[in-house]
Amino acid sequence: MNESVLNELAEPVSRVISKPETEDSLNIEYTATVGQPLCDDAKFSTKNVDVYYADNQAIHDVTLDIGANEVIALIGPSGCGKSTYLRTLNRMNDTIDICRVEGQILLDGKDIYRKKQDPVLLRARVGMVFQKPNPFPKSIYDNVAYGPKIHGLTRNKSELDDLVEEALIKAGLFQEVKDRLHAPGTGLSGGQQQRLCIARTIAVQPEVILMDEPASALDPIATAKIEELINELKENFTIVIVTHSMQQAARVSQRTAYFHMGRLIEVGETDQIFTNPAHDLTEKYITGRFG
Amino acid sequence: MNNTDIVRQSLKKRYLKEQIFKFMGMFSIATAILFLLILLVDITTKAMPAFSQTKIALPINLDAEKLGLDANSSTESMMNADFRLVIRAALLEQFPEVTKRKAKRELYSLTSMGAEFQLRDMVIEDPSLIGQTKTIEFMADDDVDAVIKGSIDRTLPESDRRVKDQKLSWIESLEKSGQISTGFNWNFFSNGDSREPEMAGIKGAVLGSLFTLLVTLALSFPVAVAAAIYLEEFAPKNRFIDFIEININNLAAVPSIVFGLLGLAVFINFFSMPRSAPLVGGIVLSLMTLPTIIIASRSAIKAVPPSLREAALGLGASKMQSVFHHVLPAALPGILTGTIIGMAQALGETAPLLMIGMVAFIVDIPQSAVDPSTVLPIQVYLWADSPERGFLAKTSAAILVLLFFLVAMNAIAIYLRKKFEKKW
Amino acid sequence: MKISALIFLLLVFAAFSYFMARQKITTAYRQHKQKTKILTLPKYFGYVAALCSLLPALIVLFFLEAVEEPYITSEISTYITANEINASEDLDLYLNDIKGADTPEKIAALSDEKQVVYQRYHEIETVANRTITAIVLSISILLVIWGLRKINTDTPARKVFEKIIEGILLLAASIAIMTTVGIVFSVLFESTRFFGEVPIMSFMFGTEWSPQTAIRADQVGSSAAFGAVPLFVGTMLISFIALLVSVPFGLMSAIYLSEYASSTVRSVTKPILEILAGIPTVVYGFFAALTVAPFIRELGESMGMSVASESALAAGLVMGIMIIPFVSSLSDDVLSAVPQSLREGSLGLGATRSETIVKVLIPAALPGIVGGVLLAASRAIGETMIVVMAAGLAANLTVNPLEAVTTVTVQIVTLLTGDQEFDSAKTLAAFALGLMLFVTTLILNVIALHVVRKYREQYE
């Protein structure tokens, strides 16, 4: 089951590695991360994280804090490891046999890779929205109700109904689908499907939502709606968003982290990163010299 | 109470369910594997006795007078001579106390019915033996065989035992004098079928299977490859082609016995082809394995990258040339693998061959694809139906031989796949 | 002339044609001195000329050979009737005696009367044989001459040759259709003859099955009954037991292998399951009859139940285990077609693996699984050797798995493996049963293949 994910994740890494001339021409000196990777009110605190796919190192020594109720954007060229890093935060990488994570990742001060940590509980607390909308082939209602049902969050049908409605309202989808809650979720448009996936995630009421390029498969109008939604969600959730689009990062996030070749190059306030990047590489990426 | 606590509370129960579910999966697989093990062990233990054969050494006086032969007798007169007489004389000499007719008959049944033929063939080969006395090892009867191998319990009371006390005492006295020996049963591999378990062998069935498979291969391989090439490379998109594809997929799932009915009605009754012949069996089996080989060949052809075709076409080769010169050689390992798997399927098939009369009792070893013969799986079926005890071991041994061929064929297929596996 | 010799001669003509045509074109090229233009290779002209003489002659030959036998039989029958020769015994047997006399000793062994018939048979056969030889050879020779005259450098030889090859390839692909047509015709034709003797209603709905027809007309007390309901019920009972074993076990095995097992376990276990699938059914039959059935009987007796020595349970159980790998590999295909994103979606919400499988994967894969179960059912219904060896012959109308029942396939084998004349109601009944079997499995297969295809398209 894991091969497809593996290809998706591992291939870009090897591709970058196999093109050393890019590295040379950029004349990189790998130094410690520039900017402020740490913050006072950290929800997630990652220290010296390394990730390997078999013998292939995909993430090198990343140290980064993610503050409570902030939106942090992870940007960087394809294969830079930002998706891999994101997936370590709720241990989605566990589904890949050959993936190994080293270093420390603390959620509210506790290591999520400790033996006693239960990945199921972790994922209930740290939800995830994927690159491509992936609604279950069930009705819209059942899609949203699925999480609360398996976790036993509600006691009866009317509570569940309320929870589903609330989640759909929060995801800005309720008005569009209230007449057809029992129609299949796969029948919605791409943007609606993605908002359904977000609704599904927030119905579990997680503390953190990880978003892996949530708008990359959508058209601009749908993308705008998703961004609007992220702006509303940041009131209640901590959001980590991986994005390909620098504009999107600029629009939705407070902080931005720039990854390159599996290393965290620079972290800072989004405004500062986009107007006055401290690191040479960040500047080159933002000005579109490579990517 | 916040959500995390609710989730945490539910976890214990959910993990129990998870464990139960996972256990059910392991249990399913373990059951299947355990069954396979039991089956293999059961058959192997049952088969073991068939690979050894008990022999009785007797000093035989090839009395020229008794046989009515001398060293210059013609082969024909040797064929007609009664060699039972000298064997019986040898047995009587061994146990001179036996005088009653009934007891004598019991005594004579110590050696196999085949003993006289064994002696006859020896004499024909070397006529100078006539007149001499020589110790010769004869095949023992299956009852003696069973006593020696322990499948008849000597400690049972006489009334429950197949071999009575008298016979048992003879056997034991022969044992004491060292005249009984057991050796590897070559006859099992060199004889045809027989009504006597100790004489029955699988050579006829193995050759029958071989002829049948050769016919199957000769027919199904070229036709299947041609069909696969057509469907992958030349077929236009139309209803007729769709119909062909539907037919191929359906034929792959039609019960094999229905192919037997087809063979009986069309080849035997309508075209008056010979019954029980590997030729007809091969035709029926090739119709049955065609879909398998076509489907495998198509996927092998599909796996050849378009760049190879384009390269040939770009040089001015015709479509036909690009297919036969480039695509087909590249797809050949995959096609061969599929073909061997189809052949293995044909080798194990029984039901359709029952329909076309390959179930007859045939002693002669077939010499060609039109001689009446049987095949390995049907030999298994026939022996499994025989009431004699000795056939139980023979059946299991025949199954082991059949499985050996199947394993060998599959090993070749795996080897081919590994060796020629290409990543395009 | 013997058919093999005739074919050899045709091949010689074709080879001659090939060389002559090639020679003709090579010479023509040399005379034209067309050096600049790319020319069709001379060998293609040779191929075309050779095939042009060979193929029509072969087609005619096979057609004539196919009708020769029926023609001779009908001629000789007419002769027998016309001369009022007493063929009181069966006509087929009578003819077999005569046709079988292929050595002088055998001919001499025939009765005087048969000698006369044999002479006549020999005459007819010789004439027919000579006619065929003459027709085929003249066609071949005429085509060789015509082809060699017609062929010239303007003939689009390569195109024609490739068209012919394409035609041959199409013919090979069409064999699948011919096989299906052959099956349908053979079972349908014999079945209609059967239904001419036994009303279709009493076959389909009759509850008594005892196909022993009277051997002599004056025999009493053994009239045949062809009510197939006990067979249908027996078939369904055994198939049901088989599915009861194979579906849960096969599905769970597939789930475990694709969702839980490490790649090492998978790489060891999958081939083992394939071995299970590769064992010939006759081996399972032997095992069911000699090991499983006695075991079940002893087990039942130790619990105070009476179990038939050829119980439906034993056959069904072993058949079920035989089908496990089949169900497992179909389910595996179906489950792996479910997109990875659905698994991640569920896991990302904090579902456990089993929750993901039961609540997301299986519902998503349900159409595919149902298709797989239908295919497995079709396998179980058509399975022959296990039931022939381990289930009984007695047509009991019961759904008790501990009793002996018989199935459609068992009866087909029993009816056709004895020394039977072909036209008796008994042998024809086997074809009627074959028709039922074919139609049932065909319907199951068509539905299953359709469902599975639709399912796959959904995720492509």
Tell me the mean pLDDT in the region B10-23.
Answer: 90
Tell me the mean pLDDT in the region B182-195.
Answer: 84
Tell me which DSSP letter residue B366 carries. P
CA distance, residue C234 to nearest chain B CA (Å) = 17
CA distance, residue C350 to nearest chain A CA (Å) = 4
Residue B316 banded pLDDT, cuts 50, 70, 90: low
- What number of C-beta contacts closer than 8 Å exist between B and C? 253
- Rounded Cα gap, residues C316 and B397, in angstroms: 25
| Contact: B7, A205; criterion CB under 8 Å | no
Is a pLDDT exceeding 60 seen at residue A261?
A: yes
Residue C420 banded pLDDT, cuts 50, 70, 90: low
| Contact: B3, A204; criterion CB under 8 Å | yes
More confident residue, C321 or A26: C321
pLDDT, tens digit (0-9, with 9 covering 90-100), for C236-288: 999 999 999 999 999 999 999 988 988 889 888 988 888 888 899 999 999 99
Residues of C in contact with A201 (CB under 8 A): 348-349
Nearest to B7 among C169, C350, C449 (CB): C350
Residue C134 banded pLDDT, cuts 50, 70, 90: very high
Q: Does residue A147 lie within any of the structural domains?
A: no
Q: Does residue A276 lie within any of the structural domains?
A: yes
pLDDT at site C288: 93
Is a pLDDT exceeding 80 seen at residue B338?
A: yes
| Contact: C345, A136; criterion CB under 8 Å | yes
Name the domain count of chain A. 1
| Contact: C355, A150; criterion CB under 8 Å | yes
Residues of B in contact with C441 (CB under 8 A): 253-255, 258
Nearest to C339 among A134, A138, A201 (CB): A134
pLDDT above 90 as % of chain C: 36
Residue A2 banded pLDDT, cuts 50, 70, 90: very low
Is the ipTM, as predicted for this complex, more than 0.90? Answer: no
pLDDT, tens digit (0-9, with 9 covering 90-100), for A175-185: 999 999 999 88
pTM value is 0.81
Tell me the mean pLDDT in the region A131-139.
Answer: 85
Stretch among B142-146, C319-323, C401-405 having the lowest mean pLDDT: B142-146
- The answer to whether C246 and C326 have CB atoms below 8 angstroms apart is yes
Cα distances from B40 to residues A8, B331, C286, C317, C323, in angstroms, run 43, 36, 12, 17, 17
pLDDT at site C328: 93
Given CB atoms, is C355 within the 8 Å cutoff of chain A? yes
Topology classification of domain B203-420: MetI-like fold (1.10.3720)
Q: Which of B3, B9, B12, B17 to mutate to test the interface with A (most CBs of A within 10 A)?
A: B3
| Contact: A95, C359; criterion CB under 8 Å | no
Tell me the mean pLDDT in the region B165-184.
Answer: 83
- Tally the C-alpha atoms within 13 A of residue B52's C-alpha that lie toward its C-beta: 15
Residues of B in contact with C445 (CB under 8 A): 249-250, 253-254
Q: Which residues of A touch B (CB under 8 A)?
A: 118, 120-121, 124-125, 150-153, 204-205
Is a pLDDT exceeding 90 seen at residue B391?
A: no
pLDDT, tens digit (0-9, with 9 covering 90-100), for C422-439: 667 788 889 999 999 999
Q: Does residue A222 lie within any of the structural domains?
A: no
Q: Coil, strand or helix: which one is B358?
A: coil
pLDDT at site C253: 94
**∠ CA C53-C58-C63 to the nearest 5 degrees?**
140
Q: Residues 335-354, chain C: which have Cβ within 8 Å of A?
A: 336, 339-352
pLDDT at site C90: 61
Stretch among B82-91, B283-292, C282-291 having the lowest mean pLDDT: B82-91
CA distance, residue B346 to nearest chain A CA (Å) = 34
Residue ranges of domains in chain C: 3-155, 225-458
| Contact: B7, A152; criterion CB under 8 Å | yes
pLDDT at site A1: 40
Helix (H) or strand (E) holding A63: strand A56-67
Nearest to A92 among C336, C344, C351 (CB): C344
More confident residue, C420 or C328: C328
| Contact: B3, A153; criterion CB under 8 Å | yes
- The answer to whether B245 and C173 have CB atoms below 8 angstroms apart is no
Compute the radius of gyration of chain A from its Cα atoms.
Answer: 19
Q: Identify residue A229 by its one-letter amino acid code.
A: L
Residues of C in contact with B18 (CB under 8 A): 352-355
CA nearest to B8 within chain C: C350
Report the neighbours of C using a cutoff of 3 or more CB pairs below 8 angstroms: A, B
pLDDT at site B149: 80
**Structural tokens at position B44:** 């192997």
| Contact: C342, A122; criterion CB under 8 Å | no
- Rounded Cα gap, residues B123 and B68, in angstroms: 13
| Contact: B384, C442; criterion CB under 8 Å | no
| Contact: A152, B11; criterion CB under 8 Å | no
Q: Which of B17, B46, B230 to mutate to test the interface with C (most CBs of C within 10 A)?
A: B230
Q: Which of B2, B5, B6 to mutate to test the interface with A (most CBs of A within 10 A)?
A: B6
Report the neighbours of A using a cutoff of 3 or more CB pairs below 8 angstroms: B, C
Burial (CB count <10 Å: 0-12, 13-18, 19+), residue A105: buried
CA distance, residue B295 to nearest chain C CA (Å) = 12
**Structural tokens at position C380:** 């179980």
Residues of C in contact with A122 (CB under 8 A): 350
Tell me which DSSP letter residue A184 carries. B
Residues of B in contact with A121 (CB under 8 A): 4, 7-8, 11
Q: Identify residue C184 by its one-letter amino acid code.
A: V
Stretch among A101-110, C111-120, C171-180 having the lowest mean pLDDT: C111-120
Is a pLDDT exceeding 90 seen at residue A93?
A: no
| Contact: C434, B318; criterion CB under 8 Å | no
Residue-range definition of the domain harbouring residue A38: 1-115+248-291
Nearest to B6 among A118, A120, A153 (CB): A153
| Contact: B11, A150; criterion CB under 8 Å | no
CA distance, residue B236 to nearest chain C CA (Å) = 11
Q: Give the strand pairing for C209-210 and A126-129.
A: unpaired
φ, ψ of residue A264 in degrees (nearest 5): -85, 115
CATH of C225-458 given 3.40.50.2300, 1.10.3720.10, 3.40.50.1980, 1.10.10.10: 1.10.3720.10
- Rounded Cα gap, residues A23 and A13, in angstroms: 13
pLDDT, tens digit (0-9, with 9 covering 90-100), for A13-43: 443 444 434 444 455 556 678 888 888 888 9
| Contact: A136, C346; criterion CB under 8 Å | yes
φ, ψ of residue A263 in degrees (nearest 5): -115, 150
- What number of C-beta contacts closer than 8 Å exist between A and B? 26
CA distance, residue C408 to nearest chain B CA (Å) = 11
Residues of B in contact with A204 (CB under 8 A): 3
CATH of the domain at A31: 3.40.50.300
Residue B79 banded pLDDT, cuts 50, 70, 90: confident
Residues of C in contact with A134 (CB under 8 A): 339, 341-342, 344-345
More confident residue, B58 or C315: C315
pLDDT, tens digit (0-9, with 9 covering 90-100), for C63-109: 988 788 778 878 877 877 777 666 555 666 677 677 666 667 777 77
CA distance, residue B11 to nearest chain A CA (Å) = 8
- Rounded Cα gap, residues C372 and C334, in angstroms: 9
Given CB atoms, is C267 within the 8 Å cutoff of chain A? no
CA nearest to A90 within chain C: C348
- Rounded Cα gap, residues C200 and C362, in angstroms: 43
- Rounded Cα gap, residues C42 and C27, in angstroms: 10
More confident residue, C95 or C167: C167
| Contact: C384, B244; criterion CB under 8 Å | no
Tell me the CA end-to-end span of chain A in Å, nearest whole number: 30
Nearest to C341 among A124, A125, A130 (CB): A130
Residues of A in contact with B7 (CB under 8 A): 121, 124-125, 151-153
- Rounded Cα gap, residues B89 and B82, in angstroms: 12
Q: Coil, strand or helix: which one is A276?
A: coil
Is a pLDDT exceeding 80 seen at residue C212?
A: no
Residue C257's CB is within 10 A of a number of other CB atoms, namely: 22
Cα distances from A73 to residues A25, A220, A239, A249, in angstroms, run 27, 19, 8, 6
pLDDT at site A52: 92
Nearest in space to B400 (alpha carbons), one of B421, B373, B380, B423? B380
CA nearest to A93 within chain C: C344
CA distance, residue C220 to nearest chain B CA (Å) = 30
pLDDT, tens digit (0-9, with 9 covering 90-100), for C26-71: 888 777 765 555 667 788 888 888 988 898 999 999 898 878 877 8
Report the neighbours of B using a cutoff of 3 or more CB pairs below 8 angstroms: A, C
Assign 3-state DSSP to chain C and report helix, strand, coil percentages, each to 5: 80, 0, 20
